[in-house]
C-alpha cells in the first residue's frame, strides 16, 4: 500500500457494512478517504469514532448514487478540496424484497437498477475523468457478488428478483471498463470483487437472523481485505476478478 499513502480514495455506500469496513481500512492504510452515502448521520458517527488527530484524512459527503447530479456534486467536491481521486470503490448496492412478477413493483425494480448499475456508471465516469487528469493512473474497484456469475436458487429466501441481473451487468461492465481504460491510453486498473453471502444490512431485518442461523456468511472485513489485496498489487498487475465464498457455502 506504500504507493497509495496520502492518495485519495472515494468509497460509495460507506455508512455501514462493507463500505464502512473498506473506508476504515483504506484510512488506516494511510489514504485520504471520502466516504459517500445517503445517511449523513451514520457517516458522522463513523468519522467521530476515528481518533481526532486522524480525522483530517476522513471526509464525508451525503450522496445518493442513483442521482446523477448528486454524484457530480460529490466528485466536484473531491476535485476542489483534494485535487481529484486515485481510487474509487463502487460499493453502494441494494436488494429489494419483491418479485419480478409482483404487480406495481416498478419503483423497487428501478431503484435497484439505478443504484446497482447506473450508480456505478455515474461514479466511474466521474472518477475516470479525474484519474486521467492526474496522470492516467488509478484503480476502480466494483463490489460485485457471486450472484453476478450464477443466479442462486435459495428456497429459504424470497426471490432475488432483479438483483442478480444487476450484478451480471457489473461483471460485464468490468471487462468493458478494462478495455475502455486501455483505449483511452491510461494505466487505470479495474477489479471486480464478488463475495457470497455477507453479514450486512443489505438483508431485510426480518431475514437476517434466519440467514445467520442457517447459512455460513462472510464478514464485511473479509471483503475489505480483498480490496486491500487488489489495489496493493504492483502497478503492472491487474487483479481482474476475486470471488469469495464462506467456507461451507452450498450454492
Which burial class, exposed, middle or buried, applies to 71 when counting CB atoms under 10 A from its CB (0-12, 13-18, 19+)? buried
* Distance, CA of 238 to CA of 241 (rounded, Å): 9
What secondary structure letter does DSSP report for 9? Answer: E
Question: How would you label 111-148 residue by residue, b for 16+ Cβ within 10 Å and e otherwise?
Answer: ebbbbbbbbbbbbbebbbebbbebeeebbbbbbbbbbb
* Distance, CA of 151 to CA of 242 (rounded, Å): 17
* Distance, CA of 84 to CA of 155 (rounded, Å): 45
Tally of residues, the chain: 251
177 is catalytic: no
* β 189-195/58-62 pair status: unpaired
First to last CA, the chain: 34
Catalytic residue among 59, 163, 177, 229: 163
CA distances from residue 179 to 133, 182, 188, 189, 232 in whole angstroms, order as listed: 19, 5, 10, 10, 21
Question: How would you label 34-69 residue by residue, b for 16+ Cβ within 10 Å and e otherwise?
Answer: bbbbbeeebbeebbeebeeeeeebbbbbbbbbbbbe
Nearest CA among 199, 202, 224 for reference residue 213:
199
Q: Which residues are identified as catalytic?
A: 163
Amino acid at each position: 500500500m506504500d504507493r497509495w499513502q496520502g492518495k485519495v480514495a472515494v468509497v460509495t455506500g460507506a455508512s455501514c457494512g462493507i463500505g464502512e469496513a473498506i473506508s476504515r481500512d483504506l484510512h488506516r492504510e494511510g489514504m485520504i478517504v471520502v466516504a459517500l452515502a445517503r445517511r449523513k448521520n451514520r457517516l458522522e458517527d463513523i468519522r467521530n469514532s476515528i481518533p481526532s488527530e486522524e480525522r483530517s484524512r476522513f471526509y464525508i459527503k451525503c450522496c445518493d448514487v442513483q442521482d446523477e447530479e448528486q454524484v457530480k456534486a460529490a466528485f466536484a467536491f473531491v476535485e476542489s478540496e483534494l485535487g481529484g481521486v486515485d481510487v474509487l470503490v463502487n460499493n453502494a448496492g441494494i436488494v429489494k424484497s419483491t418479485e419480478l412478477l409482483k404487480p406495481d413493483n416498478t419503483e423497487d425494480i428501478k431503484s435497484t437498477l439505478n443504484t446497482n448499475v447506473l450508480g456505478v456508471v455515474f461514479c466511474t465516469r466521474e472518477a475516470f475523468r479525474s484519474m486521467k487528469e492526474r496522470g492516467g493512473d488509478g484503480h476502480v474497484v466494483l463490489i460485485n457478488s457471486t450472484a453476478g456469475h450464477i443466479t442462486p436458487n435459495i428456497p429459504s429466501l424470497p426471490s432475488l428478483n432483479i438483483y442478480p441481473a444487476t450484478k451480471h451487468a457489473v461483471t460485464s461492465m468490468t471487462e468493458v471498463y478494462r478495455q475502455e481504460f486501455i483505449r483511452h491510453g491510461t494505466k487505470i486498473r479495474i477489479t471486480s470483487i464478488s463475495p457470497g453471502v455477507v453479514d450486512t444490512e443489505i438483508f431485510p431485518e426480518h431475514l437476517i437472523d434466519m440467514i445467520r442461523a442457517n447459512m455460513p456468511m462472510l464478514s464485511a472485513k473479509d471483503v475489505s481485505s480483498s480490496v486491500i489485496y487488489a489495489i496493493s498489487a504492483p502497478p503492472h498487475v491487474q487483479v481482474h476478478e476475486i470471488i469469495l465464498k464462506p467456507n461451507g457455502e452450498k450454492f
